[in-house]
Amino acid sequence: MNMHLGTHNVKEFWTTVWKTQNTGWKLGERSAPFTRILFAFLNGAGILSAEELKKDPYDAVLCFLAGKTVFAPLCGDSAIISYMVGCRVKHVVGVDLSEQALSLQCQVNFPNVPFQTTRLDPVEGTAGDFVVHEASVGDSRVTLFQGDLMQLPCFKAYSELKVEFMYDRASMMAIPPDIRGAYVQAVTRVFRANTTVAYERMVRVLPEERHWGPPFMVDMDEVLQMYRESTGREYRATRVLADEVEGTLCPEWYAIVPHN
């Protein structure tokens, strides 16, 4: 694809990416199972007791997620949404700019689930269409927002949410640097004081490529500074997983937790 992502063409860029199926980041999801990532997160975050961590990894993840409200920004058609439903979350919230991505999310991961679709009424300070797809799956509620994440805090349907855990995979790294702060403000708007984050960071091995993107390489000090400025709280980040892969991109996972 010859188009380059910038602040001026975010919607056009990602719409084209999905239409042309230039979605190579999904290969990483298939090679890194959710349980492995989330169990590593739990180990690094120090959330579960030593006794709880002796459980089978999936059982430990289930113990953590069950009954929580969780958030997957820029989720696309990721199976993390259905995985979290399988872990008996109370409510899973996803957001994506692409209509096609969320259509695939519903059709592929929830083929027999009827979603109710609602178009949000325009509010001051927003532009473009905003749609919400909602469904109940067992005891879990699924909410998928379609639209510009950075504008969603203007809507009560989003701003009144309170999430306890966020799964940031291929999300912040997809945001152009000059609107990265707006992204963090938008996602942290729905944080509780104790919200924790499983965060994927992409490392570009070659120095001459470190300003390329997406995926953009974001320094962890910058990440923590943006979280601090957006919430007024201190956070610490612990690297919990690093995969060695062929090529020039190496994913790392961090546990980001409030630091009292």
Q: Is pLDDT at 205 greater than 90 in this prediction? A: no
Task: Give the sign of the dihedral formed by CA 111, CA 113, CA 114, CA 117.
Answer: negative
Average pLDDT over residues 4-33: 60
Confidence of residue 5 (pLDDT cuts 50, 70, 90): low
Confidence of residue 22 (pLDDT cuts 50, 70, 90): low
Q: Which tokens sit at 190?
A: 């729905």
Confidence of residue 248 (pLDDT cuts 50, 70, 90): confident
Q: Is pLDDT at 18 greater than 60 in this prediction? A: no
- What is this structure's pTM? 0.88
The pairs formed by 154-157 with CB atoms below 8 angstroms and a separation of 24 or more are: 154/123, 154/124, 154/125, 154/126, 155/120, 155/123, 155/126, 155/130, 157/120, 157/132
Sequence-ordered list of residues with C-beta below 8 angstroms from that of 160, at least 6 positions apart, any chain: none
Hey, what domains does the chain have and what are their CATH numbers? 23-258 (3.40.50.150)
Q: Is pLDDT at 232 greater than 90 in this prediction? A: yes
Tens of pLDDT, residue by residue over 23-73, are 555 455 543 489 999 999 999 999 888 888 888 999 999 999 999 999 999
Q: Which tokens sit at 66?
A: 């069950």
Average pLDDT over residues 86-95: 98
Confidence of residue 6 (pLDDT cuts 50, 70, 90): low
Tens of pLDDT, residue by residue over 101-149, are 999 999 999 999 999 999 999 998 888 889 999 999 999 999 999 999 9
